[in-house]
Structure 1
Amino acid sequence: EGFDPRFTATDLAVHRRETPPSADVAAEQARIDRADALVLVYPVYWWSMPGLLKGWIDRVFANGWAYDEGPDAKLVKRLRHLRAHLVALGGANLRTYERHGYFGAMKTQIDHGIFDYCGASVVTSELLLGSETQDPASNFGAARAIGGNLFKASARGAEAA
């Protein structure tokens, strides 16, 4: 969609609460505000998310919208209403991820370090493996189950409301 993921001086001023977010960031924030859930499906690059996705999060999940934080204020998590579903697509095998603790590190960095920091609930956090070493169709069943569970969770949330 052409979103610029580069964190600029303007984004730093937004973080410091000196200026409102730019139009592209405000549009993404409004898009998330209208959503029932946020679903991120991404390849694992160097044991994390791609730089473009990280840049999107850096700019969109801004102080004043995703959380409130200041030098003398207690952190306020503003995305408690947001349900997040994270599906990472890894190229290495399970043995590599387990041996080095990569998936646990990713969960700490992404699930906790980004989403929990803002108060969002990570409903799904999955790692689908073998996308580069075997037929990608082997993950279709897992992806379909994740999607089905996402819609079941949405339906349960609507019934409870």
Structure 2
Amino acid sequence: MHVLIVHAHPEPASFNGALTGQAVATLTEAGHTVEVSDLYAMRFKAVADADDYATREDPAYLRIDREQTWAHRHDAVAPDVLAEQAKLTRADLLILQYPMWWFSMPAILKGWADRVLTRGFAYLPGHKYDTGLLAGKLAMVSVTTGTSADTYAPDGIDGALLDVLWPVHNGLLRYSGFDVLQPFATHMPGKADDEGRDEMLRRYADRLRHLESVPRLFFHPRSDYGPDERLLPDVIPASGFQHRPR
């Protein structure tokens, strides 16, 4: 299997850096091939703007979705975006490695998603979720948090971790067609001692050695939705985030 790790932490010596290093070593030892996009080291441009297109469908008014589609059809995608899309095309598994910042991902990783998972490459009208253009690939989030696992419990003050990650799991990865593996969360590595951090790395290595047994997150198939794109009346919401309005 070929794995792409998109790494988003500004400090190379961070625990996120240690997790990425552990992933490269473990996956390589298991016979996989690995590429790493270290976004901060690459100084990856995070802002989607007019400079992303060599030519424009409408030079007078910037509509990102239309220009993304135009760029793919007319070989006008920016070179740095094209390079990342080529990595994704090669990958069987995408790992997003990042710290939880304000209940989301760092801006540079959000910018990577904005510029790389584009209309025409990752999705098109009628080709999203089950039929997203990256269907057949796997994805997994590996995230570190500054607070405990208890705070990310369903009754925790920060909310259930899977709910917090819904915009990434569903709105980004599943929308593009990925099958999404259960996330790997490392809670409060900054508060752990050396022995505790070593144990966290061992747990991650064990996860990566047994990827075939990692559960996939459930997302309702398109057949569970009506023409209004709402769950059919006889379908029980089971995604963990969706629910019936009261």
Where has structure 1 moved over 3 Å in runs of 4 or more? 10-14
Kindly indicate which of the two structures has a greater share of residues assigned to strand. Answer: 1
TM-score by length of structure 2 reads: 0.55
Structure 1 residue 107: Cα displacement: 2.6
1:29-87 Cα shifts (integer Å, max 9, x gaps): 01111122111221111111111111101110000000013xxxx34410102211211
1:70-110 Cα shifts (integer Å, max 9, x gaps): xxxx3441010221121111110112222131512333111
Q: Which residue of 2 aligns with 1:26?
A: 82
Q: Which residue of 2 aligns with 1:116?
A: 174
Structure 1 residue 145: Cα displacement: 1.3
Q: Which residue of 2 aligns with 1:156?
A: none
Q: Which residue of 1 aligns with 2:219?
A: none
Distance 1:24 1:13, change over 3 A: farther
In structure 2, C-alpha distance between the alignment counterparts of 1:49 and 1:64, rounded to whole Å: 24
In structure 2, C-alpha distance between the alignment counterparts of 1:29 and 1:106, rounded to whole Å: 26
Distance 1:118 1:55, change over 3 A: same
Q: Which residue of 2 aligns with 1:41?
A: 97
- Is the 8 Å Cα contact of residues 122 and 133 (structure 2) preserved in structure 1? yes
- Is the 8 Å Cα contact of residues 14 and 21 (structure 1) preserved in structure 2? no
Unaligned runs of 5+ in 2: 1-41, 53-61, 214-246
Q: Which residue of 2 aligns with 1:130?
A: 188
Kindly indicate which of the two structures has a greater share of residues assigned to helix. Answer: 1
Structure 1 residue 13: Cα displacement: 5.1
Letter in 1 for 2:48: F
In structure 2, C-alpha distance between the alignment counterparts of 1:40 and 1:141, rounded to whole Å: 19
Give the paired residue count: 148
1:92 to 138, 141, 147: 147
- Is the 8 Å Cα contact of residues 14 and 62 (structure 1) preserved in structure 2? no
Q: Which residue of 2 aligns with 1:58?
A: 114
Query: SS at the partner of 2:134?
Result: coil
- CA-atom RMSD in angstroms: 1.9
Query: SS at the partner of 1:54?
Result: helix
1:2-24 Cα shifts (integer Å, max 9, x gaps): 32111113456552123332111
Q: Which residue of 1 aligns with 2:65?
A: 15
Larger Rg: 2
In structure 1, C-alpha distance between the alignment counterparts of 2:208 and 2:116, rounded to whole Å: 24
Q: Which residue of 2 aligns with 1:6?
A: 47
